[in-house]
Amino acid sequence: MQHLPPRRIAAIHDFSCVGRCALTVVIPTLSVMGYQTIPLPTALLSSHTGGFEGLYFRDLTADMHQIAAHFDRLEMTFGSIYTGFLGSVEQISVVREFIERFGKTPDETGKAPLVLVDPVMGDDGVLYATYTKELADGMRELGTHAEVLTPNLTEACFLTDTPYKDTAKLAEEEVEEYVLDLLEKLSHICHGKIVVTGIGLAGGIVANAGRDDDGRIFWIKRTCQDISYPGTGDIFASVLLGALMQGDSFETACTRAADFIVLLITESQKIDTPVRMGVALEAHLGALLKK
């Protein structure tokens, strides 16, 4: 049996010091699933942008160029390239160049990197404060390079120029028609695997709707408290990516990710975790260990 080192994942995300999100949840999640995370930080923030005032924000575009150049000199290879929050429109081209440079080179397993784009842009129908329409348009272009695309409902609407609807107030048939239309539009951006997350339904149910690369549609519905913790999208995408790299089908990977998020929200509520601090991830990482 050939023994190989852990596969490396290039994680192109921000580093928010306070509030569990982005790299502070991506790294431990992927580590416990058996992968070495190589960060390429896009921005440094004293906290994430939700629920904190007076935060410090530093754009790291210039640093990204230098870090990527060093990776090139080191002849780094990756099992995946995984993008999240971007701090400026200039970073779209930086990330695109990174994918073009490293996205076709196989790692030690002989496989080319799996490219996952998590188009972190907003929530509850609104773009984040640091996002402009130009940056949102750039994120759409970046999605064309993705093999896996993981927008939440808000982001799916911005990517496809579709008016946002509060799906929890719609009849089930209306939600299905609305989301299927979104998935169809998204398939013209990403020709691979797509999942739209955080679809609120009546009765306290949250759904994720997936479209596999063969066009098959599936739904994952879970009863969950209607609390929007920051960082859950980052954790969902990280678990999904780790599961895909472990060999799970797309639907199975999405199911594992959804179940883990429900666990984290439920357990975080039990200990009264402040919403702005993110879910209490630390005590539950063991649930991701492959049985």
124-145 confidence digits (pLDDT tens): 999 988 788 899 899 999 999 9
User: How far from 141 is each of 9, 118, 135, 163, CA to CA, in Å?
Assistant: 22, 13, 10, 19
251-291 confidence digits (pLDDT tens): 999 999 999 999 999 999 999 999 999 999 999 999 999 75
- The tokens describing 237, both together, are 């995408």
* Per-residue model confidence (pLDDT) at position 49: 87
Q: How many other C-beta atoms are found inside a 10 Å radius of the C-beta of residue 228? A: 14
Mean pLDDT rounded to a whole number for the chain: 96
Query: Which domains can be identified in the chain, with CATH numbers?
Result: 8-283 (3.40.1190.20)
* Per-residue model confidence (pLDDT) at position 290: 75
Provide the pLDDT confidence category of residue 1 given band limits of 50, 70 and 90: very low
What does pTM read for this prediction? 0.96
Residue positions counted in the chain: 291
Distance CA 152, CA 201 (A): 14
Q: Which residue has the higher pLDDT, 248 or 228?
A: 248
